[in-house]
Structure 1
Amino acid sequence: MTAELIALVVAAFIQFLHIGVSGYFMNATPEGRAWNQSPRDIPRDPGLKGGRAQRAAENHVTALLLFATAVLTLAVTDQFTGWTAVLAWVFVLARLLYIPAYVQGWSPARSGIWAVGALATALLLLAALF
């Protein structure tokens, strides 16, 4: 398996990590645990860090879709290079750093970390086109 495809699988596991972090904050209080086990018909305030964790997870879904599009297009067209491998792992690292950056409120670093991952994805998409 290529470095880019391994990075894609790792990025998918990062989504599981996001789910776990969100669940941790969701279950941090007895009320949260009861709500989490309910059908969730009534919205609840997830709290500051819980809300951040949920938004970070939602952001990763979008980022993962774009990244997967780039990596799978590169795979199908057999265009992997050393550069695309570096970009794929830059994306993975940025997305890992994004979790504590968002949950802990690292501002403006969070935006910078997001931008690094987004730029890596954009460059991968461009590599797929050319």
Structure 2
Amino acid sequence: MTPELVVLALAGLLQGLQFAAYSITAQQQVGTRYAASPRDEPRQLTGRAGRYQRALNNHFEGLILFTLAVVVVVLGDGSSGLTATCAWIYLAARIAYVPAYVLGWAPWRSLIWAFGFAATMLMLIAALL
């Protein structure tokens, strides 16, 4: 398996951990009864639960682009030291992004996000060259 695919699998596991953290904090905020309901009347999550939710949604968005980059690199037989390094930078940034978002580290959260995004874009550019 290429390093990029390994990182993609690890990013998927990270997404699962983020979902668990979001689910636990959201349920603590809204209660078990509401969490198990059809949620016809939505409730806005605030505080830590809201931040976990937004960090999770942000990772869904980033993971789409990262997955695209991995697919292009791997199927295009373009795996290299550069693309592997970019993949690991993406994962490190996503791991760091969760506490940065949840704990409100401004402006560090945005800088961490930018590193992950830049690494993904660099992977795509490298695949085209």
Global fold match (TM > 0.5): yes
* Structure 1 residue 33 displacement after superposition: 2.2
In 1, the alpha carbon distance for the partners of 2:38 and 2:108 equals: 36
Give yes or no for the alignment of 1:16 onto 2:16.
yes
Say whether the 8 Å CA contact 1:26–1:33 is kept in structure 2: no
Give yes or no for the alignment of 1:44 onto 2:43.
yes
Provide the secondary structure at the position in 2 that maps to 1:128: helix
* Structure 2 unaligned regions, length at least 5: none
In 1, the alpha carbon distance for the partners of 2:33 and 2:26 equals: 10
Quote the residue 2:63 is aligned against.
64
- 4+ long deviations beyond 4 Å: none
Provide the secondary structure at the position in 1 that maps to 2:28: coil
Give yes or no for the alignment of 1:121 onto 2:123.
no
* Structure 1 residue 42 displacement after superposition: 1.0
* Structure 1 unaligned regions, length at least 5: none
Quote the residue 1:79 is aligned against.
78
Deviations 1:72-92 (A, max 9, x none): 111111010111111101100
Identity of aligned residues (%): 43
Aligned alpha-carbon RMSD (Å): 1.0
Structure 1 length-normalised TM: 0.94
Quote the residue 1:5 is aligned against.
5
Which residue type is aligned with residue 13 of structure 1?
L
Provide the secondary structure at the position in 2 that maps to 1:28: helix
Provide the secondary structure at the position in 1 that maps to 2:120: helix
* Structure 1 residue 17 displacement after superposition: 1.4
In 2, the alpha carbon distance for the partners of 1:125 and 1:32 equals: 43
Give yes or no for the alignment of 1:97 onto 2:96.
yes
In 2, the alpha carbon distance for the partners of 1:71 and 1:39 equals: 36
* Structure 1 residue 22 displacement after superposition: 0.7
In 2, the alpha carbon distance for the partners of 1:32 and 1:56 equals: 21
* Structure 1 residue 34 displacement after superposition: 1.9
Equivalenced residues, count? 129
